[in-house]
A = this chain, B = another copy of it.
Amino acid sequence: MTTHPTLIGGGWQEAPAEAATFSARNPVTGEALPDRYPVSTWDQIESALRAAHEAREALRGQRPEVVAGFLEAYADAIESHAAALVELANLETGLPREPRLTTTELPRTTGQLRQAAAAARDRSWRRATLDTRANIRSVLGPLDGPVVVFGPNNFPYAFNGVSGGDFAAAIAAGNPVIAKANPGHPGTTRLLAELALSALQATSAPPALVQMVYHLQPEDGLRLVSHPLVGATAFTGSRRAGMALKAAADGAGKPIYLEMSSINPVFILPGALEERAAAIARDLFGSCTLGVGQFCTKPGVAVLLDDDQAGAFVAEVAELMASARTGVLLGERTPSECAAAVAALQAHGAEIVTGGVPGEGPGYRFANTLLRVSGDRFLLDAGALQTEVFGPVALLVLARTPEQMAAIARSLEGNLTACLYTHTQGADDGLYERLEPILRQKAGRLLNDKMPTGVAVTPAMNHGGPFPATGHPGFTAVGIPAAMLRFAALHCYDNVRPHRLPPELRNTNPTGAMWRLIDGEWTQSDA
């Protein structure tokens, strides 16, 4: 069995003989898949960095139509190869073809690529700002080096390093990408990279605009994100890996955007529970177990008042969890990690209501699991009881009083999301007004009467939040064009002669439609 080559410098490059190799496993059976993939060597990474700089150079002064055209051609190619992509991703991740891969994740991915292409063409994302009197003008532009994208295991297309949201945003902002694929789905990634390469070749984009490696030695990952030739890094994955990469990048002054861990608290207010407990139980159950609980926005903790109706609600969620099929997890180690995390929650006072054991059947499984803990106990160990469990596990916190709900809210770390379920006729308004200001500061996205697992790709989305959910509270990883702002440098031109300005900063609007801030007014007109 030969080892697959990696996409470096515009072509497929064989790994050197000394490179380690790995293969993926089928999570449904636990069996190793036949294809072998390389762990890239540092020499290969260096050659990717050099090639990325050549691509960067080739893009200079080009119209944004070049990257837009590539992104659109790539989206088309993905659609043309949807069946093969779905087969591969299903084999490597166990994610269902339907409803997940075919009609949800794949269209989302091509939609993101096309939105990014449209934003690149439109140019408004660059926030051109003209002070015509002082002749000082500034605009966002690409970074001085490629963006390294580390993809997670849970979205083989939509967050893949070589096709996902970070990828699309970085390319649309004019940066070459070096994708570090997730080793969980190398075959899917290989096909995506092949499609990207064919799209590069079919358009006028520089051949090394997209490069991809399957795996890296951990020390090479640290070296890469801190390398002088790198522009920035985007990482989606575990807190431990993210923090190690962050330390390396920060030390070298390299921006790094992290999407690490989040328990996405859901506060269910008593009026809402009285009004529609069964519906909320179904919502919570559905959201906790979507993607077998392996979403970054999975509600891992729900907080409610320990009143008369609480017991019935707990039982109802537990019943839904117990009676549902056990899903297949993504990783070989995920079941044991779930078990360890549940044991840790128990050690800090949480009790299992249902589940808590490895799932039955072949492959990687863990039973749908509900735990409960009193608000008093939660507050004693709020840090430990906020550990993210990447699987179908949720913790219900039963607060003694509304005051204790507020104390629990205050004890939370930074999260991607926070939800408040409230009575439709206003019975919870007082408590909402108390909890909302606390939760607002703890999360990037605040939801009302809605579970957090849906992350719409809209300019108004924030898939971000305070540390440790991410590394910076001002940026989002989802939503075009906002997500592109992470991969941009602010370029000011002071007293530069008109013919030397980039088109976006000349008096004449370069597209006739680009939004620019001219002397304090947003306008599509000329200056």
Contacts and interface: CB of A to CB of B under 8 A. Distances in A.
A496 B446 contact: yes
A294 interface: no
Interface string A456-472: 10111110101110011
Contacts of A464: 490
A494 B445 contact: yes
Pick the most buried of A143, A251, A253, A464: most chain B CB atoms within 10 A of its CB.
Answer: A253
A354 interface: no
Contacts of A76: none
Contacts of A140: 474
A432 B136 contact: no
A450 interface: yes
A142 B506 CA distance: 34
A118 to B, nearest CB: 10
A452 B522 CA distance: 28
A205 B459 CA distance: 34
Contacts of A448: 493-497, 500
B134 A500 contact: no
Determine how many copies of this chain the complex contains. 2
Nearest to A129: B460
B459 A131 contact: yes
Contacts of A500: 432, 436, 448
A320 interface: no
A476 interface: yes
A468 B450 CA distance: 44
Contact of A492 (B130, B460, B496): B460
A407 interface: no
Contacts of A61: 437
Contact of A131 (B60, B141, B458): B458
B467 A490 contact: no
B520 A459 contact: yes
Nearest to A448: B496
Contact residues on A (Cβ < 8 Å of other chain), bracket: 35 or more
B491 A144 contact: no
A495 B247 contact: no
Interface string A507-524: 000000001010011110
Contacts of A444: 489-492
B253 A136 contact: no
B131 A460 contact: yes
Given A475-B490, A489-B473, A493-B446, A456 B136 contact: yes
Nearest to A452: B494
Interface in A220-275: 246-247, 250-255
A495 B447 contact: yes
Contacts of A486: 474
A138 interface: yes
A127 to B, nearest CB: 9
Interface of A: 60-61, 129-131, 134, 136-138, 140-141, 143-144, 246-247, 250-255, 414, 417, 432, 436-437, 440-442, 444-450, 452, 456, 458-462, 464, 466-468, 471-476, 482, 485-486, 488-497, 500, 515, 517, 520-523
**The 3 residue pairs across chains A and B that have the minimum distance between CB atoms:** A253-B467, A462-B492, A522-B522
11 contacts: A61-B437, A130-B460, A131-B458, A134-B460, A138-B482, A140-B474, A141-B440, A144-B442, A473-B489, A474-B490, A476-B492
